[in-house]
Structures are given as structure tokens and as C-alpha cells.
Amino acid sequence: MKLSQITFTGFALVATVSSTAIARAWDGKDGHAPRHGCLTDSDAAKLVAIFENFFVSFDEATARKYLAPGFQEISDSINQITPGKNFTSGDATVSGLENFITTQSTTGTGPAFETLNIWHSCNTITFRWRQATTPLPTQGIDVLVIDPHTHLIVTDYSEFNNVALLADFGCQFDCPSG
């Protein structure tokens, strides 16, 4: 074997071991220890389930464990139907963990989510969902931005069929014909 082959083989082995260690650095057990590495499929699925549950059965301790202190939710779908608010497209719906806790504590609960798809990178999770609201099901898509060091959820970009949600709250729509 030539020196260049040995060097390349050694480099390849170190790179493989290092990338495996980095990818497995976060096991999701405590949610707060410093982390370095990519989300696994299991990590992404766990964070999606936890996040969806904030809107089904809110728990403040869980929010404090998995959301960053500066957490933001950005949703034109919510902003456009919030009474008495004048939002500009792209404005934060919720700014800060404390604001999220206050909002979710007073909003109430909803039906369980059906997760339709989950895709992720090292620090971003995109997921499609459906809620069996009545009379119309509500369907949407969220993008969660995850802190790469702590794996806390920093930002949620959420869009959904807000007309279905309004119908579920009893709103009726009379559209002109033609």
C-alpha cells in the first residue's frame, strides 16, 4: 500500500466516525444539554409530536423545555383572522416564550393532529398536518427552525386553511356569484 492510500483510508475512517458521532450527538432525552449535530428522523418526529400537542393539550413545563426563550411564531393565516389586530404580512404572531405560554394557556384545546409528512435537515423541520375540525377539516404546513446547539425550537412558520378554521368557529361566507 502506498502512503497516499493509507492517508486517504485513514482520513475516510476518521470522517466516517466523526460524522456518525455528530449525527448521533443529540438523543433527545433531556432537550436542554448542549448539542452539536443534525436532527435524526426520530428527533424530528418527536419534536413535531411535542409541538403539535401544544395546540391540543397545552403544558407550560413542556413549552419551557422545548421552546427557545426568544421563540417566535409567524403566520399570516393567524394574523389575517385575529380580531382587532393590524398585522403586516410576515409579522410575528407570537414573540417570546412568555407570550406563547400566555396565548396558549388562554386559547383552549383542539382536536388531535394527524401528521401527514415530515421532512427535515440538520436544523429545520417541515411538516404537513390535518386536524379533524368540524364542519371542515383544517390542513396546514409548518416549518420549525431548530437551534443547532440546543435543539430548542426557535421559530415556527405556520400556514393553514384559515377559512376552514373560521367555518369551524361558526362563520358563514356569502360570496357574490359570477
Q: What is the DSSP letter of 166?
A: H
pTM greater than the 0.85 cutoff: no
Output Rg (C-alpha) for the chain, integer angstroms: 21
- HSE (CB half, 13 Å, CA atoms) of 67? 27
In a domain, 174, yes or no: no
pLDDT at 85 over 90: no
Which pLDDT score, from 0 to 100, does residue 177 have? 80
The per-residue pLDDT for range 116-165, each reduced to its tens digit, is 999 999 999 999 999 998 888 999 999 999 999 999 999 999 999 988 88
In a domain, 62, yes or no: yes
What's the whole-number mean pLDDT along residues 93-99? 95
Residue 84 or residue 114, greater confidence? 114
Q: Rounded mean pLDDT of the chain? A: 82
In a domain, 1, yes or no: no
In a domain, 54, yes or no: yes
Q: Which of 159, 104, 155 is nearest to 128 (CA)?
A: 159
In a domain, 5, yes or no: no
Which pLDDT score, from 0 to 100, does residue 176 have? 80
Structurally, how many domains does the chain consist of? 1
Tell me the β-bridge partners of 141: 128, 159
The per-residue pLDDT for range 11-38, each reduced to its tens digit, is 333 333 333 333 334 444 444 444 567 9
Length of the chain: 178
Which pLDDT score, from 0 to 100, does residue 39 have? 95
Which pLDDT score, from 0 to 100, does residue 175 have? 77
Distance between CA 15 and CA 4 in Å, rounded? 16
In a domain, 162, yes or no: yes
In a domain, 114, yes or no: yes
The per-residue pLDDT for range 44-79, each reduced to its tens digit, is 999 999 999 999 999 999 999 999 999 999 999 999
Which pLDDT score, from 0 to 100, does residue 24 have? 38
Distance between CA 150 and CA 36 in Å, rounded? 8
- Print the domain residue range for 79: 36-168
In a domain, 18, yes or no: no
| CATH number for position 42 | 3.10.450.50
Q: Which three cell numbers stand for residue 170?
A: 361558526
pLDDT at 104 over 60: yes
Which pLDDT score, from 0 to 100, does residue 82 have? 84
